[in-house]
Amino acid sequence: MSEDTGEKVVELAKRRGYFFRSSSAYGGVGGFYTFGPQGAALKGNVEEAWRDRFAVGEGHMEIDAPTIMPEPVFEASGHLDTFDDMLVECPDCGESSRADHVVEDNTEYEDAESFPIPEVEEIVAEYELVCPECGAPLAGAAIEEFNLMFETQVGPGDGQPGYLRPETAQGIFVEFPRLKEYARGQLPFGVTQVGRAYRNEISPRRSIIRTREFTQAELELFVDPEGDGPDLSAVEDVPVRLYPASEQQAEEGDEVETTVGEAVADGTIADPWVAYFLGVAREWYESVGVDMDRFRFRQHLAGERAHYAADCWDAEGEVGGNWIELAGFAHRGDYDLSKHQAHSDERFTVFRQYDEPKTVERAAVDPDMSYLGPEFGGDAGDIVSGLEELAERDRAAFEDETVTVEIDGESHEIPVEKTGFAVEERTESGEHVVPHVIEPSFGVDRLVYTILEHAYREDEVDGEERTYLELDPEVAPTFVGVFPLQSDAELESEAEGIAASLRAEGLSVTYDDSGAIGRRYRRQDEVGTPFCVTVDYESREDSAVTLRERDSTDQVRLPIDDLPGTLSALREGDLEFGELSG
Ligand code: GAP
């Protein structure tokens, strides 16, 4: 599909109420979009399908956390220090651009995001790259790190600094100590969340593909680092198109067509949990209408990975001739839970029971507070914590007459005899471990866009050009349109009655009596409504209506009484339109 199709999709989206720029009465602001009635319904259906598969279908819990979180969360998570993109400002017009995107859009480099800044500066100069806005040369312009988080103040006055979450994941990680209780401390367990995330993107672009406020559907699966992997039998035969890092770096590298089982067996996908989710995701994406000929999984190159990720594969969809990231499947290791444990007073571990109790040697301290108190005053508590931590980590430090403890960069000498240091034998029934995290993280807005572009069709009906969306009935915002054939009070009332009976069946129905019947069909075709029902004068005699299918435009006559059951069966996929006789 060409860029041209992208423009047509964006135009259709605005015309038919899928999405449009927000606050346009006030000039709008880049990177914010409103989902209109059709878009909100499509997005809601996609989110529901995601929940069915990844929360309910996998037996995981769902939570709903605040979108604003206090600063210490992001100090711990690393977002304050490292959640940056490369910003270059045009020396002429002042327009801000993402330097790595300027490089990727205008050179053969596809992964400039993973390059260090000096290398990007060199490429900008060597290729004489220019400002995308005004065409002025960018060579020599400084490239800087720009943190993507939106900051805010919580409460009046100076308040407390807070940030709009850049990923829903942190709302799950910080609640781990409580969530593990709900999971009865048993690994593996998963927690999901569908909600808004915020990133102050340098140059939001391509409608809802890169915005500053968007919806993520994330699953954080907590696993025992030494535990068994998943049962792969349900996904081992799922075909996958992979683009591993090694192939991206090879001179004549290419995508690999394989199956999930084979990719695990030959080591292409290192982690079986990641492989499991790629298989589940591939089937799920297909079920909501992503074209599998325009879909692949690409492994991140080492320099491209987020600060928390040990390995990561992206699900990518092709839109407008380019691959875009639809979801990331990251192995986050113990990064997040260890960081939150180190920065807070909570324990981000679970207790792993041994098969048999073990006798182990434990080094511990029992400090003499009558010495530490007068000697260190208010710092005595920190000294005790420092001694406890040192005893666990480095027994040799207690071998001399004094031991050195570092508190806030300052060294303190303590006589070992005052520390109560001792090594004891203990029988232990288990140990505390920091779980590892496997994270499938889906972007919902990009997926909505991809579904629309992959469903976009043009054809000719009765000598007239037609545009329609071949949306899957499971996600289509409107399932059936109901029309009276002509403007006639009796026909209208019959059609309204039918619309009401279909709504009562739980179907999403639109009633339309304005304009010629052909135009009403075209309207619903453009919205992607799979079926239309027309009530005509014959309906009174034969108690039947015309049911029309969107894609083929074929029509059949059906008894009114059969409509709810027939349409429900069509929606569930228990019946094909072709099985109905005309
Ligand atoms: N918790 C992991 C995480 O946030 P990510 O790859 O940064 O990973 C996950 O984001 C998904 O969120 C992406 O695959 C993409 O679909 C979506 N996403 C990220 N930034 C976005 C943006 N600015 N606009 C729309 N969607 C975005």
- Residue closest by Cα to atom 18 of ligand 1: 443
Quote the CA–CA distance of 507 and 220 in Å, as a whole number.
Answer: 33
Quote the CA–CA distance of 236 and 185 in Å, as a whole number.
Answer: 29
CB of 199 shorter than 6 A to ligand 1: yes
Contact 257, 366 (CB under 8 A): no
Ligand 1 centroid to Cα of residue 194, in Å, is 13
Residues near 483 by beta carbon (within 8 Å), at least 6 away in sequence: 495, 511, 512, 513, 517, 520, 532, 533, 534, 535
Ligand 1 centroid to Cα of residue 67, in Å, is 15
CB of 445 shorter than 6 A to ligand 1: yes
CB of 328 shorter than 6 A to ligand 1: yes
Ligand 1 centroid to Cα of residue 197, in Å, is 8
Ligand 1 centroid to Cα of residue 134, in Å, is 29
Helix (H, G, I), strand (E, B) or coil at 564: helix
- Residue closest by Cα to atom 2 of ligand 1: 441
CB of 327 shorter than 6 A to ligand 1: yes
Quote the CA–CA distance of 297 and 30 in Å, as a whole number.
Answer: 29
In ligand 1, the atom with minimum distance to the C-alpha of 441 is 9
Output the CA angle 82-88-93, nearest 5 degrees: 150
CB of 211 shorter than 6 A to ligand 1: yes
Ligand 1 centroid to Cα of residue 253, in Å, is 26
Structure tokens at 27: 């000039």
* C-alpha dihedral sign at 166, 141, 209, 297: negative
Please, which residues bridge with residue 145 across strands?
86
**Amino acid in the structure at residue 248:** Q
Which residue bears the tokens 């709900």? Answer: 182
Which of 466-505 are b and which e, b meaning 16 or more Cβ less than 10 Å from the residue's Cβ? Answer: ebbbbbbbbbbbbbbbbbbbeeeeebbebbeebbebbeeb
Q: What is the pLDDT along the chain (582 residues), one digit of tens a residue?
A: 566 899 999 999 999 999 999 999 999 999 999 999 999 999 999 999 999 999 999 999 999 999 999 999 999 999 999 999 999 999 999 999 999 999 999 999 988 988 999 999 999 999 999 999 999 999 999 999 999 999 999 999 888 999 999 999 999 999 999 999 999 999 999 999 999 999 999 999 889 999 999 999 999 999 999 999 999 999 999 999 999 999 998 989 999 999 999 999 999 999 999 999 999 999 999 999 999 999 999 999 887 888 877 789 999 999 999 999 999 999 999 999 999 999 998 999 999 999 999 999 989 999 999 999 999 998 999 999 999 999 999 999 999 999 999 988 899 999 999 999 999 999 999 999 999 999 999 999 999 999 999 999 999 998 999 999 999 999 999 999 999 999 999 999 999 999 999 999 999 999 999 999 999 999 999 999 999 999 999 998 999 999 999 999 999 999 999 999 999 999 988 999 999 975
Ligand 1 centroid to Cα of residue 216, in Å, is 7
Ligand 1 centroid to Cα of residue 218, in Å, is 10
Each residue of 452-490: pLDDT tens digit? 999 999 999 989 999 999 999 999 999 999 999 999 999
Quote the CA–CA distance of 582 and 575 in Å, as a whole number.
Answer: 15
Please, which residues bridge with residue 401 across strands?
none
- Residue closest by Cα to atom 5 of ligand 1: 328
**Amino acid in the structure at residue 461:** V
CB of 443 shorter than 6 A to ligand 1: yes
Which residue bears the tokens 């909100």? Answer: 40
Which residue bears the tokens 């009046």? Answer: 156
CB of 505 shorter than 6 A to ligand 1: no
Provide the strand spans (E) within 136-238. 143-147, 151-154, 160-164, 189-198, 213-223
Contact 530, 289 (CB under 8 A): no
Residues near 27 by beta carbon (within 8 Å), at least 6 away in sequence: none
- Residue closest by Cα to atom 9 of ligand 1: 441
Helix (H, G, I), strand (E, B) or coil at 47: helix
Helix (H, G, I), strand (E, B) or coil at 121: helix
Helix (H, G, I), strand (E, B) or coil at 89: strand
Ligand 1 centroid to Cα of residue 203, in Å, is 15
The conformational region for residue 425 under phi > 0 = left, psi -120 to 50 = alpha, else beta, is beta
Distances (CA, A) of 524 to 251, 366, 377, 457, 548: 48, 77, 77, 13, 11
Quote the CA–CA distance of 150 and 167 in Å, as a whole number.
Answer: 12
Ligand 1 centroid to Cα of residue 206, in Å, is 15
Contact 78, 122 (CB under 8 A): no
Ligand 1 centroid to Cα of residue 433, in Å, is 29
In ligand 1, the atom with minimum distance to the C-alpha of 211 is 24
